[in-house]
Amino acid sequence: MIKHIVMWKLKDQAEGADRATNAREMKRRLDACANIVPGMRKFEVALAQPGLEATYDVVLYSEFDSKEALAAYAAHPTHQAVVPFIGAVREARQCMDYEA
């Protein structure tokens, strides 16, 4: 199994909206990527929550049966459609993939 975790820090303003609005829109778009390929076991998008520690604004936690399933997700048109928006609103990105 491959675990794929990505965290994004968003710009204060981008695409005509503030950070909170873009975070909600990013979550909405990423949520549409759940279950788009065979071999995707888990797909969870969360936003930083007031009162809980967070150094990033949006996190994606996902699990895949194999590297091939993760690659299929990365190349899928639904995922690719989200990439430009994320690129426009993000300030920083951290990612880690690992086998478990």
Residue 85: which pLDDT band, with cuts at 50, 70 and 90? very high
pLDDT at 38: 98
Residue 23: which pLDDT band, with cuts at 50, 70 and 90? very high
**What are 32-83's pLDDT values in tens digits?**
999 999 999 999 999 999 999 999 999 999 999 999 999 999 999 999 999 9
pTM score: 0.94
Burial 71-99 (b: 16+ CB within 10 A, else e): ebbeeeeebeebeebbeebbeeeeeeeee
pLDDT at 90: 98
* Helix locations, the chain, DSSP H: 19-31, 67-75, 77-89
Distance from C-alpha of 21 to C-alpha of 18, rounded to nearest angstrom: 5
- Mean pLDDT, range 2-20, rounded to an integer: 98
Ordered by start, the domain boundaries in the chain are 2-99
pLDDT at 63: 98
CB-based contact 13:98 (threshold 8 Å)? no
> How is domain 2-99 classified at the CATH fold level?
Alpha-Beta Plaits (3.30.70)
Largest CA distance in the chain: 40
